[in-house]
Amino acid sequence: MRKCPNCGQPTVRTKDWACPWCGYPLLSRSYGEIPKTYEELKPKVVRSEKPPVIERTEVSPVPEPEPKVNPEAKTVAEPMAVTVEEMHSAFNADNVAVDAGLASKIITITGVVGGLAINDVGNSATLILKSAQKMGTEKFLCVFDMKYIPEFRRLAMGQTVTVQGTYDSCTVNVLMLDCVLVG
């Protein structure tokens, strides 16, 4: 069984395309599916995490103290890797749940270059990613800082690229900010 990239638990995809343990969006079709949503399973998961009470008759060794955690240290989750086609399928299934589940998450997305635009006034450049199969109406607008313009200008229409960025929103088009080319 595949593991959730966020919590590491063996998992299946719920009806709202989320991990039943932590709610992380599971967009890949390679996860098995169950007909309940994350919210329907959440109370059951919380109850199942409570350890059973076990009566002991022998003396057990003293447990080691928990390691101290630095509250200022930030844990960085590995970016979720998806294709434009997987994102189209997820948004077609339930765009509201996917939009909520991806808010401010770092995503690595692979697709075909559908357009390039440089905005000198806003000091940014926008790459439009689309599906090679021409499915769905959403476009993936990936906004880059001007310092990436030399790499950006080497791209060609129809070229397959991989972009990493922070998911911002989906109204008509999916918007990703702070993007970099990763492949």
Q: If the chain, 183 residues long, is cut into consecutive pieces of 10 residues, what is the mean pLDDT of each piece?
A: 78 76 74 72 51 51 55 59 82 80 87 83 80 70 85 85 88 83 80
Looking at the chain, which residues constitute the CATH 2.40.50.140 domain(s)? 80-181
**C-alpha span between 156 and 60 (Å, rounded):** 66
Looking at residue 141, its pLDDT comes to 86
Given this structure, which CATH class describes domain 80-181?
A: mainly beta
Q: What pTM was computed for the model?
A: 0.54
Query: Any residues with CB less than 8 A from the CB of 174 and at least 6 apart, and which?
Result: 87, 91, 138, 139, 140, 141, 167
**C-alpha span between 176 and 82 (Å, rounded):** 13
Closest residue by Cα to residue 175 from 131, 152, 143:
143
